[in-house]
Amino acid sequence: MASSFASSRRPAVRHTLARSAQALLLAACAWGVAAQAGTVTVITSFPKELTSAYKTAFEKAHPGITLEILNKNTVAGIAYVRESSEGKRPEVFWASAPDAFEVLAQNQLLEPISDIANPDVPATIGSFPVNNPEGLFLGQALAGYGIMYNTRVIKAKKLEAPTTWADLLKPEWFGNVGLTSPSRSGTTHLTVETILQGEGWDKGWNTMLRMSGNAAAMTDRSFGVPDGVNNGQFGAGPVIDFFGLSSKYSKFPVEFVYPEETSIVPANIGLIKGAGNTEEGKKFIAYSLSKEGQELLFKNDISRLPVLPYDKLSGVPEGYPDPQAIAARSKVAFDVDVSKNRYFIVQSLFDQTITFRLDDLRAATKAIFEAEAKLAKKPNAKGQALLDEAKQLAWSPVLTAEQAASADLQALFAADKKDSAVNQQLSKLQGEWNSLAKANYEKAIALAKQAGAQ
């Protein structure tokens, strides 16, 4: 009986073992797919509202691939990629600043990805190419630069709603503007560069110095400006459009306007050379350019302009900005090569003469406004001449356009900062800019006080 019972159980045992082996094989295969899929690390300056939406949607569409977000401002992101060894780099770089991608391309840190470009994306926005001609990075959204303002603050302080950069330079805006340094924010760098290219070097720096002279604060990150406008800390500030639009559509008491001196340029996405999971990285880039990925941009707390035309998308909000129309009326033909070549020069010049000398610049600006008000009541030729000299000292760049375009200076700022000779030369030059700015502001204050006393 025992033998018969054992004999009758053998087929069942064999069947059970076979099923177990099959299950183990399937599990092993599934594990292999997951291991191959791996993790895609995305280095980006974008806010959590945007990155979280894409992480959730992409992981749902691609089970087994995990999206890891490494949030850094654009300048720090470039440095991180440059300093990471091959095989340990993030897969994807995703940011609003096209000149930042040019810097990465120049350093041979991007892989060609034209094979995954969406053919429905137009070739240009205005005259600007949406995708890099060499296929090293692609436009994933479109970005414009303008002014975000708090409607309650301007009503309470009896300020006119700003529509141009010049509006933020008026005396009544003193202490009511929020700003970020371009060295802390790629989007702010694009705003500064847009103004410099739209108005010219000297007039553009005059605008930036006067706007900064009206600043209530210089925030640590670009997020600080829209946050400050949202909560009423600032009356207004220059921001990339999605900060202003997302706040507006999320029912904050704010508005956003595009001045004529603006640019509509691609916010780009690229595949970093020397990353571990290149194929999975390509899948995320392709998803971000798909119809589903583009429609995520319309979410209220994201509010970005897609690269896909509106007739290829669903759910376009009523009255949503038309990027082609904005580009058509813009006075700025943005030159990404000019921006790329003086990228670090502009950042350093801003920091040495504005960020690190903000109190001095504000004091000079205040003294000029006070003298201006006195001379308006009692005009005086000598006083006006003194005031004009004060304005020239306070609101002119310490570096000329020709000096900024110098190949030697551009090469110095692009050189390896770890080289002690390079670092020493840069420190000396930046110290000279800082000292000259300080002396100019101090002299401007003295001249403005003399002007007001006439």
Contact by Cβ (8 Å): 264, 97:
no
CA distances from 385 to 98, 192, 452 (A): 43, 30, 11
**pLDDT tens-digit map of 371-422:** 999 999 999 999 999 999 999 999 999 999 999 999 999 999 999 888 999 9
Tell me the percentage of the chain whose pLDDT exceeds 70. 92
What does pLDDT average to over the chain? Answer: 90
Confidence of residue 24 (pLDDT cuts 50, 70, 90): very low
CA torsion sign, 135 to 139 to 145 to 150?
A: negative
Give me 414's structure tokens: 């692009």
Domain ranges of the chain: 37-141+267-326, 342-454
**pLDDT tens-digit map of 73-107:** 888 999 999 999 999 999 999 998 888 899 999 99
Q: Does 25 have pLDDT greater than 70?
A: no
Q: The domain 37-141+267-326 is classified under which CATH number: 3.40.190.10, 3.40.1380.10, 3.40.50.11540, 3.30.450.20?
A: 3.40.190.10
Listed in sequence order, the residues at least 6 apart from 129 whose beta carbon sits closer than 8 Å to its beta carbon are 123
Q: Hunting for tokens 């992981």 — which residue is that?
A: 59
Query: Which parts of 265-357 fold into alpha helices (H)?
Result: 278-289, 291-295, 323-329, 336-341, 343-353
pLDDT (0 to 100) of residue 253:
98
The pairing of strands 254-257 and 66-71 is unpaired
The half-sphere exposure of 447 on its side-chain side, counting CA atoms within 13 A, is 21
CA torsion sign, 202 to 208 to 213 to 219?
A: negative
Counts for the chain of helices (H) and strands (E), in that order: 19, 13
pTM of the entire structure?
A: 0.79
Contact by Cβ (8 Å): 185, 220:
no
